[in-house]
Amino acid sequence: MSLRDLTINPLRIGMRSAKHIEPCIMVIFGATGDLTSRKLLPALYNLALEHPLPPQFTVVGMARRPLSHDDFRKMAFDAITTNSRTQPISPSVWDTFSKGIFYNQGEFHDRAAFERLGQLLDQIDHDRGTLGNRIFYLATQPEFYSDIAAMLSESGAARPPETEAEGKGWSRIVIEKPFGHDLATAQQLNADLSRAFHEDQIYRMDHYLGKETVQNILVFRFGNGIFEPIWNRRYIEHVQITVAESLGLEGRAEYYESAGAIRDILQNHMMQLLTLTAMEPPVNFGAAAVRDEKLKVLGALPPVLREIANDSVRAQYSSGYVGGVKVPAYREEEGVKPDSLTESYVAVKLNIENWRWAGVPFYLRTGKRLAKRVTEIAIKFRRPPYLLFQGTGAGELATDVLSMRIQPDEGITLRFNAKVPGGEMHLRAVNMDFFYGNTFGGTPPEAYERLLLDAMAGDATLFTRIDETLAAWRLVDTIVQAWRDSRSPVALYAPGTWGPEAADQLIERDGHTWRRL
Amino acid sequence: MTTPHVPLRPVPVNGIETGLSNLWREAAAGSLAAGGTVVARNCALTLVVFTGVEGNASSVVREVEQVSGQYAMRAIVLRSLGHMPKDTTVASQIGITQRDDQSGSTHGEVIMITTEPDQATLLPGTVLPLILAEQPSFLLWTGEPPWRSDLFESLVDGCDRLIIDTSDSRNAEKALVALNDLQRRKHNACIVTDLNWTRLSPWTELMAQFFDTQDLRPYLGAIDRLTIEYAADTDDSIGNSAQAYLFAGWMASRLNWETSGQPPAPAAGGGRGHTALGNGVRIQIELLPRPGVPQGSWLDVLGKRRASDGSFARSSPGIGAISQVGFGALMSVHVHAKLNGQDGVFAIAREQDLWHASTHCSAGQVYPAHTVSLGALGEMFSIEQQLRELYPDQLFEESLSAAARILGPHGVRRTP
């Protein structure tokens, strides 16, 4: 390394702590909200504690509530003390971290407030050496996204990508789901954002992608030589993806009523699990290559489901008992309309029409108030071509299943048939288990920590690109439109069960059954 | 917290594997019957720990139990004791450990093998068959290795990775040179590393961080002084300088400093002085012992740290003071450069609580400082960190080579 080449830091060469963060400011919109106090501030504190963030790193909160810098620091301290995974809080680390916390009060459509924000950011650049590098994190209600983006652009607080090349710093914007309500609103939101930010500057957050076990899907598939050769239509009979929650609305009725299970979970989290399971190997682990392959999967979903009424089910939970406690029906939940048609459960059968997956159905189901909280991807393999043990009293062979559990009990289980010891030929399905907790122990970092660090480092691999997002909305719109057109009824299911009978029928028509998890 | 799930129990040396199989079956059945957690045998690596000094064994075993649970491993602890039961040359015990955390329970197995010191040559033939097939194997050698001895070389050859701790050496400078020699000889057979290097990671990270700001990078070519202070006892004018030399070696290797290999000159404060040439600038390297800092072995420091708050250090890294640091711990690093007549100062100093460090940077202007927890950034997770690494660490190898070049053939003290 020649010291004449100072475009890279020679002291970084060879270091394994891969992601190095340039000095920057993170502006959090919705700074007094729940997401900021539960997730963002604790994650930033833990990053400062364990990585560490550069000394210049600065947090600026913006919200409507009138607060002084010190008020916001106090609020941040309380939030971190309550919600940080590392306890107790280090006074020394907090002392220097808190010196980089500021607050700017204002409405999200108030031009003057954004001009004050721009002045504050310029001042921080000057005083703390943050070099004009800015991340704008939108932890607000989605209806403010467009206004905030426009104001950031108009006020000059956010800068176009050309300024980075000029050495004047970079600007990035991080947006929480939901990104739109349907295809049209997502396109409109993207158009609004695009007036202020280039696609490379937009980081669409799906915190599922920050989970270690979700990232491990790629390692499992492409880091081992034994699975990829059988990862196709020749060996796989079908795939089941389940995201089950045992809880109800938990105070989120206002949002959930307008979203339902299909927008809340299927459009984003489940599409990510689907694409990671079905994608082709990317040419490298860079953002563009991974996202290109995910997009191809979404592009291979047929634009119109052939028999949408038969291939999807929507349902709501009725009243009943969970764990011995009476719970209300969905329509009886506070904030839910008595005649609501919003689904708390959705199941859908998808076909990926490409060379690898032709004829292999993917069954997806998600819902609230189900039997237990579990997220898994189950690969069911085809039976052996010749039933060798027929007539020996062995009974029917169970199909081999590879299940990847995302949460809880993160791990991988392979179910296969084994002979029961004894003189007779009895077969029994047995499990070969790998549990993360048993093998590695420890507590993995929070998904937010990983994703915030990636956004600061400019690594967009674990964020969704606009074409992925729009492709997922296209699918969801198709299903929702079909529900409307067919006036298909909203089925009911008892809380604490695995969903409605109609969902069982959906999969049984193909000769399969849902896994009992 | 890690606890013995099945306490150590004696077993004949030739019955270790059978004994362990029985132990796991017994533990699994017992746990099921009691409605406890699932006990799964799932060892992902072998850690062979040689502890030749009786007094050190308890803290080593404690540390091994901590990481044993963390990594679901087979830990083989080798002890060389001065007293053994009559007619016994090698004794062995086996047990199962359990570590509980938020993600569940992890179980590991421990094999303790004890010999008399003059019977230590029996160890390779006893230990090597116990290393798990097709799983990574690590040899952790505590204390001063008997460099080039048959025992040491046999165990090194039988493992994938050797972990030593130059903070345990009575003559750290000699240990660095010997380690560098071993690294060159074993390069294709066993990866060599030093826990002292891992402990440096917060210091190298903080130093590198100064120069993530592009405007400050030109100062790297204008460095004229590197001063490193490390902890030392009052009764030892030099102390253990291994960390300090490794840090200097890291700087020298990254910045292409040419070192003279000349004998070290006395530096102010009873330290050592070396010169190097970097980018045409003569650089003074000073390694200064800071006497009077309470020191102990790093394992003891870690043990006390854990004991003081009752939990594993990673989950509670942030508060309070520690009563001592490990032998030769860095206390401060101070880099001076002069660029176009302007002074640049880049400094990291351990705080009085010995647990945190603060930064200072001035170069035309004073830049924001910050205080970080050295423990949370890696100073306290040395073994855990090393067990993650399966491949050669080129940065360490180059830094060690550079440190050995700074020391030169003349820089090695005679063993007292």
Q: What type of residue is B170?
A: R
B309 pLDDT exceeds 50? no
Mean pLDDT, range B28-40, rounded to an integer: 75
Q: Each residue of A76-124: pLDDT tens digit?
A: 999 999 998 888 888 888 988 999 999 999 999 999 999 999 999 999 9
Question: Which of A25-34, A137-146, A302-311, B202-211 has the weakest average pLDDT?
Answer: A302-311
What is the reported pLDDT for B371?
A: 86
Cβ within 8 Å of A, B 135-194? none
Q: How far is A145 from chain B (nearest CA, A)?
A: 32
Which among B178, B125, B133, B180 has a CA at the least distance from the CA of B160?
B133
Q: Which residues pair with B350 in a beta bridge?
A: B357
Q: Alpha carbon of B144 to those of B148, B149, B414, B415: distances in Å?
A: 12, 12, 15, 12
Q: Each residue of B80-134: pLDDT tens digit?
A: 776 766 777 888 989 888 777 665 677 788 898 988 877 777 888 889 899 998 7
B63 pLDDT exceeds 80? no
Q: How many secondary structure helices (H) and strands (E) does chain A include?
A: 17, 17
Cα separation, B195 vs B302, in Å, equals 13
Whether A126 is catalytic is no
Q: HSE (CB half, 13 Å, CA atoms) of B371?
A: 19
Q: How far out from the chain centre does Cα B140 lie?
A: 9
Rounded to 5 degrees, φ, ψ at A391 are 85, 0
Host H or E run for residue B335: strand B330-339
Mean pLDDT, range B150-160, rounded to an integer: 90
Confirm if B198 and B386 have CB atoms less than 8 A apart.
yes
Confidence category of residue B40, pLDDT binned at 50, 70, 90: confident
Mapped onto helix, strand or coil, the DSSP state of residue A417 is: strand
Q: Alpha carbon of B227 to those of B46, B105, B202, B224: distances in Å?
A: 40, 46, 17, 10
Host H or E run for residue B75: strand B74-80
Cα separation, A513 vs A511, in Å, equals 7
Chain A residues with beta carbon closer than 8 angstroms to that of B377: 50-52
What is the reported pLDDT for B5?
A: 67
Mean pLDDT, range B313-332, rounded to an integer: 69
Q: State what percent of residues in chain A have pLDDT above 70.
A: 95
Question: Which of A85-94, A200-209, A328-337 has the weakest average pLDDT?
Answer: A85-94
Which among A190, A192, A281, A175 has a CA at the least distance from the CA of A229?
A281
| Token duo for residue A404 | 């990847």
Q: Each residue of A402-435: pLDDT tens digit?
A: 999 988 878 899 998 888 788 777 787 888 888 8
Nearest neighbour of A11 by CB, restricted to B254, B356, B367: B254
Q: How far is A52 from chain B (nearest CA, A)?
A: 7
Q: What type of residue is A473?
A: W
Chain B residues with beta carbon closer than 8 angstroms to that of A169: none
Place of tokens 């302007």: B342
Q: Each residue of B362-371: pLDDT tens digit?
A: 998 888 888 8
What is the reported pLDDT for A48?
A: 87
Q: Each residue of A357-395: pLDDT tens digit?
A: 999 999 999 999 998 899 999 999 998 877 777 666 666
What is the reported pLDDT for B414?
A: 40
DSSP B108-129: EEEEEEEE-GGGGGGHHHHHGG
Indicate if the alpha-carbon torsion angle B368, B374, B378, B379 is positive or negative: positive
Q: What type of residue is B294?
A: P
B361 pLDDT exceeds 90? yes
Nearest neighbour of B368 by CB, restricted to A12, A56, A434: A56
What is the reported pLDDT for B177?
A: 93
Cβ within 8 Å of A, B 78-117? 99, 101-107
By C-alpha distance, the chain A residue nearest B256 is A1
Q: Do A92 and B353 touch (CB under 8 A)?
A: yes
Q: Do B220 and A95 touch (CB under 8 A)?
A: no
Nearest neighbour of A87 by CB, restricted to B278, B316, B376: B316
Q: HSE (CB half, 13 Å, CA atoms) of A268?
A: 25
Q: Which residues pair with A429 in a beta bridge?
A: A417
Which among A116, A92, A112 has a CA at the least distance from the CA of A104?
A116
Residue B131, chain A, CB below 8 Å: the answer is no
Indicate if the alpha-carbon torsion angle A124, A128, A130, A132 is positive or negative: positive
What is the reported pLDDT for B383?
A: 76
| Token duo for residue A368 | 């609230």
Host H or E run for residue B284: strand B281-291
Cα separation, B127 vs B47, in Å, equals 11
- How many CB atoms lie under 10 A from the CB of residue B42? 15
Q: Do B317 and A15 touch (CB under 8 A)?
A: no
Nearest neighbour of A96 by CB, restricted to B214, B365, B371: B371
Q: Which residues pair with B110 in a beta bridge?
A: B75, B95
Mean pLDDT, range B42-61, rounded to an integer: 73
Alpha helices in A182-286 (DSSP H): 183-196, 212-222, 253-261, 271-278
Question: Which of A110-124, B221-235, B313-327 has the weakest average pLDDT?
Answer: B313-327
What is the reported pLDDT for A75?
A: 96
Place of tokens 């995302």: A406
Rounded to 5 degrees, φ, ψ at B335 are -110, 130
End-to-end CA distance of chain A: 55
B312 pLDDT exceeds 50? no
Q: Could you say which DSSP state residue A33 is in? A: S
Cα separation, A87 vs A80, in Å, equals 9
What is the reported pLDDT for B313?
A: 41
What is the reported pLDDT for A375?
A: 95
Q: How many secondary structure helices (H) and strands (E) does chain B include?
A: 11, 19
Q: Could you say which DSSP state residue B89 is in? A: S
Q: Do A129 and B71 touch (CB under 8 A)?
A: no
Cα separation, B182 vs B192, in Å, equals 8
What is the reported pLDDT for A322?
A: 81
| Token duo for residue A28 | 């959090």
Strands A171-176 and A134-138 turn out to be parallel
Confirm if A375 and A365 have CB atoms less than 8 A apart.
no
Q: How far is B344 from chain A (nearest CA, A)?
A: 16
What is the reported pLDDT for B238?
A: 75
What is the reported pLDDT for A216?
A: 87
Confidence category of residue B345, pLDDT binned at 50, 70, 90: very high
What is the reported pLDDT for A245?
A: 92
Mapped onto helix, strand or coil, the DSSP state of residue A491 is: strand
Q: Do B319 and A91 touch (CB under 8 A)?
A: yes
Nearest neighbour of B317 by CB, restricted to A22, A86, A100: A86
B314 pLDDT exceeds 80? no
Q: How far is A46 from chain B (nearest CA, A)?
A: 10
What is the reported pLDDT for B310?
A: 37
B413 pLDDT exceeds 50? no
Q: Do B255 and A10 touch (CB under 8 A)?
A: yes
Cα separation, A79 vs B174, in Å, equals 51
Q: What type of residue is B31?
A: S
Cα separation, B8 vs B114, in Å, equals 13
Q: Do B368 and A49 touch (CB under 8 A)?
A: no
Cα separation, A486 vs B389, in Å, equals 58
Q: How far out from the chain centre does Cα A414 lie?
A: 25
Q: How far is A113 from chain B (nearest CA, A)?
A: 27
Cα separation, B223 vs B281, in Å, equals 7
Place of tokens 């169970």: A398
What is the reported pLDDT for B317?
A: 41
Mutate to test the interface with A, among B37, B135, B370, B388 (most CBs of A within 10 A): B370
Confidence category of residue B315, pLDDT binned at 50, 70, 90: very low
Nearest neighbour of B318 by CB, restricted to A93, A410, A438: A93
Strands B137-142 and B46-51 turn out to be parallel
Q: Which residues pair with A378 in a beta bridge?
A: A240, A403
Mapped onto helix, strand or coil, the DSSP state of residue A77 is: helix
DSSP A368-394: SSBSS-EEEEEEEEPPPSS-TTTTTT-
Confirm if A52 and A21 have CB atoms less than 8 A apart.
no
What is the reported pLDDT for A485?
A: 84
Q: Angle at CA A42, nearest 5°, toward A37 and A45? A: 135
List the catalytic residue out of A20, A181, A198, A269. Answer: A269
Chain A residues with beta carbon closer than 8 angstroms to that of B317: 49-50, 86, 90
Q: Do A131 and B356 touch (CB under 8 A)?
A: no
| Token duo for residue A225 | 């030589």
Instruction: Give the pTM.
Output: 0.80
Q: Do B44 and A439 touch (CB under 8 A)?
A: yes
What is the reported pLDDT for A477?
A: 92
Nearest neighbour of B214 by CB, restricted to A6, A48, A50: A6
Confirm if A184 and A65 have CB atoms less than 8 A apart.
no
Which is more confident, A449 or B39? Answer: A449
Q: Which of A61-70, A86-95, B228-237 has the highest mean pLDDT?
A: A61-70
Chain A residues with beta carbon closer than 8 angstroms to that of B220: 3, 6, 10-11
Which is more confident, B357 or B33? Answer: B357
Residue B366, chain A, CB below 8 Å: the answer is no
Place of tokens 């010291």: A3
> Left, alpha or beta for B136 (phi > 0: left; psi -120 to 50: alpha)?
beta
Mapped onto helix, strand or coil, the DSSP state of residue B306 is: helix
Chain A residues with beta carbon closer than 8 angstroms to that of B339: none
Mean pLDDT, range A505-514, rounded to an integer: 93
Cβ within 8 Å of A, B 52-71? 69-71
Mapped onto helix, strand or coil, the DSSP state of residue A92 is: helix
Cα separation, B146 vs B82, in Å, equals 17
Confirm if B191 and B160 have CB atoms less than 8 A apart.
yes
What is the reported pLDDT for A16?
A: 73
Host H or E run for residue B4: strand B2-10
Q: Which residues pair with B139 in a beta bridge?
A: B48, B162
Confidence category of residue B61, pLDDT binned at 50, 70, 90: low
Host H or E run for residue B105: strand B104-115
B60 pLDDT exceeds 70? no
B57 pLDDT exceeds 60? no
| Token duo for residue A62 | 């913006």
Place of tokens 């830049």: B367
Q: Which residues pair with A172 in a beta bridge?
A: A135
Confirm if A392 and A269 have CB atoms less than 8 A apart.
no
Q: Do B72 and A439 touch (CB under 8 A)?
A: yes
Which among A34, A43, A31 has a CA at the least distance from the CA of A86?
A43
Q: Do A52 and B209 touch (CB under 8 A)?
A: yes
Q: Each residue of A254-303: pLDDT tens digit?
A: 889 989 999 999 999 999 999 999 999 999 888 889 999 999 999 998 76
A324 pLDDT exceeds 60? yes
Mutate to test the interface with B, among A90, A99, A164, A436 (most CBs of B within 10 A): A90
What is the reported pLDDT for B400?
A: 96
Mean pLDDT, range A202-223, rounded to an integer: 88
- How many CB atoms lie under 10 A from the CB of residue B277? 13
Cα separation, B416 vs B237, in Å, equals 13
Mean pLDDT, range A223-241, rounded to an integer: 95
| Token duo for residue A397 | 């062979």
